[in-house]
Amino acid sequence: MNHDDLAHWSKIAADWARDYHAGLRDVPVRPNIKPGSIASQLPAKAPDAPEDMSTIFADFERLVPSNTTHWQHPRFFAYFPANASPASMLAEQLANAIAGQAMLWQTAPAANEIEAVMIGWLANAMGLPDTFTGTIHDSATTTTLSAVLTMRERALDWAGLTDGLSGQPRLRIYASAQTHSSVDKAVRVAGIGQNNLVKIPTTSDYGMDPAALDAAIRADIAAGHLPAGVVLCTGGTSIGACDPIDACIKVAKAHNLFVHVDAAWAGSAMICEEFRPLWEGIEGADSIVFNPHKWLGVQFDCAIQFMPDPSEQIRTLGLRPAYLNTQGQDEIVNYNEWTVPLGRRFRALKIWFTLRAYGLDGLRERIRNHVAWSLEARDAIALIPGCLLTTSPRLSLFTFSYIDDVETAALLERINADGRIYLTQTTHDERFVIRVQVGQFDCTRDDVMMIPTVIRDLIA
């Protein structure tokens, strides 16, 4: 296969892609198959002789689509969708064709400069002060890890990088129980340890209690521990909990602690001014993460980290061996010094294409529709006998139960075997509940109202 063959097959792939997306509403969102059923159809060993692309492509068509959970299905209401707008897919094809490596400015000048401009566009669109800068990571998980490593080193005056953590006081990080498991992973990987992630109690609306945060920090200081930072959430994954950002940042700053805010899915909604009260006080944060690959339609993977001052993170993660120097350019921004991996994909291109192809107004309209339609679906579900709303919508996420835990789990299983829609579960106040998350890029009101229809059909 050479580049001429690539051009030929790319056209076939483009037509295949159009038909695939056009047909999604007619297939189950999630395939009804058993683990192992796909691997068992593949040969045990790689071929010694080259194979024809037509044979390979035929096998792809035979094996992959029917055994795929369709994340771009308009009735995907599970987790949070990983949206890929057509414009972002096109940009991804072009980035793939260039196949550059954007670790340094000089290894990818266009990628790096477009990245800087996109960070500015997004910060402005979300109402953040002009002072915020930032970078693109692969995921919210590695972004939060980067922020936690920065908290650690800032608290240790950067001694951890050279001397390690032994002999240091116990580092302490604070978050609520509603924050995502990526925070747990970050403290584990950062060598801080799960037991030093202090889960702060929440108030009746499941946001962190600032007074409890203050008390926990004071108790740790009295015990000789070393508080290092606070991770807050705007839109927790389970039920969409939002910490009171302003009050919690005030507490953190009174103790000189670094604050990172995880707004992975809800952050995109901040392009709409009316949702910004959910993170009031955000301009006081030291670091913010959100995933345009969730609600902005920028193809996975794409996580944005905003920071008013990146210097502490660069001091934590940046290394400049001789072979990574750019001769004569000491002051240039090299984003690999802001992130964990050295190598970086050209992710800014798909942001550029998406923001221009739909405009902020087009993206705002989608988000507003999703929020409005989720309210309609909630109202319809509330009328179904046996269904009980367990949490009210935070933006476009709500939860409900059906009779009891056992019946709720059984209903969820029937919903996903039915295939018209796809929902997932969480545990809330020790109950098994079903999550409804409306956010698929191409979903319509009819798609969303299929949720109560399917529930009614299945319990009739």
Ligand X SMILES: *Cc1c(COP(=O)(O)O)cnc(C)c1O
Which part of the chain contacts ligand X (CB under 6 A), choosing from 39-47, 53-61, 231-239, 334-342? 231-239
What is the three-class DSSP state of 403? coil
Q: Does 374 bind ligand X (CB under 6 A)?
A: no
H or E element in which residue 348 lies: helix 348-382
**If binding is defined by CB under 6 A, does position 313 make contact with ligand X?**
no
Task: Choose the binding region for ligand X from 102-110, 135-143, 166-174, 328-336 (rule: CB under 6 A).
Answer: 135-143
Q: How far is CA 261 from CA 233, 258, 340, in A?
A: 5, 10, 18
Choosing from 88, 150, 176, 182, the residue that interacts with ligand X (CB under 6 A) is: 182
Minimum distance between the CB of residue 223 and ligand X, rounded to whole angstroms? 29
Stretch that binds ligand X, among 29-37, 259-267, 372-380, 383-391 (CB under 6 A): 259-267
b/e map 283-307, b = 16+ CB within 10 Å: bebbbbbbbbbbbbbbbbbbbbbbb
The stretch near ligand X (CB under 6 A) out of 159-167, 232-240, 315-323, 419-427 is: 232-240
Q: Could you check whether the bond before residue 301 is cis, i.e. omega within 30 degrees of 0?
A: yes
What string of DSSP letters covers 148-188? HHHHHHHHTTT-HHHH-STTSPPEEEEEETTS-HHHHHHHH
180 contributes a contact to ligand X by CB under 6 A = yes
Member of 303, 411, 415, 421 binding ligand X (CB under 6 A): 303
Closest approach, Cβ 459 to ligand X, in A, equals: 29
Beta partners for residue 428, in sequence order: 431
Q: Interface with ligand X includes 80 (CB under 6 A)?
A: yes
For position 285 contacting ligand X by CB under 6 A, the verdict is no
Residue with tokens 């193809």: 299
10, 106, 133, 139: which one binds ligand X (CB under 6 A): 139
Is there a contact between 208 and 245 (Cβ–Cβ < 8 Å)? no
Q: How many CB atoms lie within 10 A of CB 365?
A: 13
Tell whether the torsion through CA atoms of 127, 132, 135 and 138 is positive or negative.
negative
Among 72, 83, 135, 291, which residue interacts with ligand X (rule: CB under 6 A)?
291
Select the span of 52-60, 118-126, 137-145, 379-387 touching ligand X (CB under 6 A): 137-145
Strand order in the sheet with 387-394: 387-394, 397-402, 431-437, 424-428
Closest CA to 175 of 218, 230, 135: 230
Instruction: Return the number of other C-beta atoms located less than 10 Å from residue 192's C-beta.
Output: 24
In whole angstroms, how close is the CB of 69 to ligand X at the nearest point? Answer: 15
38 with 62: CB under 8 angstroms? Answer: no
Cα–Cα distance between 289 and 420 in angstroms, integer? 32
Count CB neighbours of 431 within 10 A: 14
Nearest approach in angstroms of CB 428 to ligand X is: 15
Nearest residue (CB) to ligand X, 123 versus 303? 303
Task: Name the amino acid, one letter, at 131.
Answer: T
Binding of ligand X by 262 (CB under 6 A): yes
Residue 160 or 236 with smaller CB distance to ligand X? 236
- Which one, 78 or 303, has the nearer CB to ligand X? 303
Length of the chain: 460
Helix (H) / strand (E) element for 259: namely strand 258-262
The backbone torsions φ and ψ at residue 209, rounded to the nearest 5 degrees and listed phi first, read -85, 110
Nearer of residues 270 and 454 to ligand X, judged by Cβ: 270
Residue closer to ligand X, measured from CB, 307 or 387:
307
Smallest gap from residue 302 Cβ to ligand X (A): 9
Strands (E), 378-445: 387-394, 397-402, 424-428, 431-437
Residue 416 Cβ vs ligand X, minimum distance, rounded to whole Å: 20
Tokens of 220: 């740790």
Decide whether 115 or 214 has the Cβ nearer to ligand X: 115
Minimum distance from residue 139 beta carbon to ligand X (Å)? 3
Task: Tell me 242's DSSP state.
Answer: B
Is residue 265 a contact residue for ligand X (CB under 6 A)? yes
Q: How far is the CB of 188 from ligand X (least distance, A)?
A: 15
Contact positions with ligand X (CB under 6 A) in 11-40: none
Q: Which range, of 65-73, 104-112, 133-141, 405-413, touches ligand X by CB under 6 A? A: 133-141
Q: Kindly state whether residue 296 participates in binding ligand X, applying the rule CB under 6 A.
A: no
Our finding on whether 95 is near ligand X (CB under 6 A) is: no
| Min CB(418)–ligand X separation in Å | 26
User: How many CB atoms within 10 Å of residue 28?
Assistant: 19
Does 264 help bind ligand X (rule: CB under 6 A)? Answer: yes
295 sits near ligand X (criterion: CB under 6 A)? no
CA distance 439 to 297: 10
Enumerate binding residues for ligand X (CB under 6 A). Answer: 80, 139-141, 180, 182, 233, 235-237, 262, 264-265, 291, 303
